[in-house]
Chain A
Amino acid sequence: MPPMATPTPNNRTASALLAFWGAVRLSLARLGRTTSMLAVIFMALLPLLIVVLIAAATWHEPIFHQPAAAQRVYQTILRLVGLHFVAFFIAYILGQAVVRQDLEDETLHYLFLQPMPRWLLFAARFVAFFLLAGAAVVLGMWLCWLAATVPWMRPADLFDLLREQGRLAGLLREAGVLLLAVLFYGAAMIAVGSFFRSPFFAGLLLGWEAGVYYLPRALKYWTGSHYFHSLLPDGGAERRLFELIGEPAGVGLCLTLIPAASMVLLAIGAAAFHLRECQYGKTN
């Protein structure tokens, strides 16, 4: 039989870290064990699927056996599908759930009854979101690159491509940009999800971000896409094809602006979470 005494942690810092890690683990389990995770996995595998379909369609005249052509196809998929579609929708599915899941499931009170400040609970939910969404997006794109490259190259050539030709650094840089996209879009979805259930605002943001190609130059600076594309390694034809960038923003500006905007959006979400009451549409 358990002792009848209220246990209190001895070391407050260690205890706070343990509690935070516990909240991250709980959030990972909560976000990861939903049917919408199937949609996330499908989204993450979409670039790979596209490569497989292209390979199948061009079987008699393969395009991936030429590294330059393979990289061009990959760059197009990265920019069009990876950034604008996969990162966005994974951020949407998981980002909305950061706050919405507990409201829809009517389980928010379990969190609010724990001895953790709400901003820390929110931070734990966000960390879990970022780990899941970031891993799904980056691994999905890496799988896509591997499928577009590995089957068509000898190991020595692959090693040469990665190390000598600097493709490894390029892949890491692309992963960094995708993570920034997950951060920004996720923050936006969390902020929206804190107030609205409707996907209308997510659709609005998608239209705004994807419509960057058609925007006048001055308005492009008000999209996340502009800065993500500015940060991507020069894709040559792809960038010119969409006349996207005009004047690419500097790396410093991109690395300041995107996290700053994300932090503002997260602060809005955190403030809403802090002030939220546990009401699930019933009066008593």
Chain B
Amino acid sequence: MTHGPVTIELRDVSRWYGEVLGVNRVTADLRAGLTGLVGPNGSGKSTLMNLICGLLRPGRGEIRILGQPVWNNPELRRVLGYCTQNDHFYESFSGREFVASLLRLHGHGLDWARRTAADWLERVGLGPHMDRRLRTYSKGMRQRAKIALALAHQPRVLVLDEPFNGLDPVGRREMMQLLQEFAAEQRTIVLSSHILHEIEQMTDNILMMSNGYVVAEGEVGQVRDLLTDHPFQVFIRCDDPRRLGALLLREPGVLSVQVEGERSLTLATRAPDAFYLRLNELILDHGIDVDIVTLADENVQSIYRYLAGREHH
């Protein structure tokens, strides 16, 4: 659960890449504790995190952390840690050298930086490997090195973009535990993932994004209810839409059916999973030739894909 005063304020934040939408009109207040940023790939999570950390400038709106603007505010970096999804490093550096050389930019001496880097690399499980060059690290080790760098200056606000990518199940559990300890100390952690159950293991509080918009905010259960209440529009193209429409209207999960022309129909349902199973049976039983079945609403489609995807993880 998140609590306490607002740490990160997002006010009507938009960001476009030319004509491509990054995030649009995001307004949210994030408080101390752990908040999960969830959504399918390409939904704008990374863009929002880059905006929060001042790596991108909003085209519109305002972002504040601890009351201060984030863009070009170097002092704020003392209390902000960011583990990006980007997997590029100073490849010729060792793990310890990588973390220590960046920690030195906080204005501490070399000894402190090397000691602190070693402590945190040890803590993320890279102790035996800290003097190996980063180019020899596996994906999981690189992920751990990034997490160590983000945590090493012990920021009050920590932003992590898909931090468990590339980690094995043991590694995931260790990192989750570490982050939960970190969050327990009144720190604010924003954590993104496209896998909902990963976030659910750590927090109830989520911000769900889709196509650049925040589509839901609150506890995981509430968001699930919201999605369950939301009718999905399904478009079907087939050889006999009137007959199929009449059959579908008898199904309990189908709210409405609208026949469009000679070959297509659109229907509304609150239970797409069950609907798809039943549709297959009807097609086979009645010999209806179906060309296309798709969700009609792009926004909902991406959420649905995401929610459907979680079943596979």
Which A positions have Cβ atoms within 8 angstroms of B? 1-9, 14-16, 18-19, 22-23, 25-26, 29-30, 33, 105-107, 109-118, 121, 274, 277-280, 283-284
Contact = CB atoms under 8 A, between A and B. Distances in A.
A2 B82 CA distance: 19
B194 to A, nearest CB: 12
B63 interface: no
A280 B108 CA distance: 30
A278 B50 contact: yes
B207 to A, nearest CB: 15
Interface residues of B, number: 56
A240 B53 CA distance: 59
Contacts of B304: none
Contacts, number: 126
Contact of B101 (A29, A116, A117): A29
Nearest to B21: A283
B19 to A, nearest CB: 11
B47 A19 contact: no
Contact of A2 (B44, B88, B93, B116): B116
Nearest to A282: B46
B271 to A, nearest CB: 31
Contact of B20 (A8, A115, A283): A283
A284 B42 contact: yes
Contacts of B155: 6
Given A105-B88, A114-B105, 18 more contacts: A4-B182, A4-B185, A7-B154, A8-B78, A9-B107, A14-B107, A18-B104, A18-B108, A19-B105, A22-B110, A114-B77, A115-B74, A115-B77, A278-B55, A278-B56, A280-B86, A284-B42, A284-B45
B106 to A, nearest CB: 6
A104 to B, nearest CB: 10
A8 B45 CA distance: 30
9 contacts: A2-B119, A18-B109, A22-B104, A29-B92, A29-B101, A105-B88, A107-B88, A115-B78, A121-B105
A283 B47 contact: yes
Contacts of A279: 17, 56
Given A22-B113, A26-B101, A109 B84 contact: yes
B55 A19 contact: no
Contacts of A283: 17, 20, 22, 47
Contacts of B120: 2
A55 to B, nearest CB: 37
B123 A2 contact: yes
Contacts of B119: 1-2
Interface string B75-99: 1111111101010111011000100
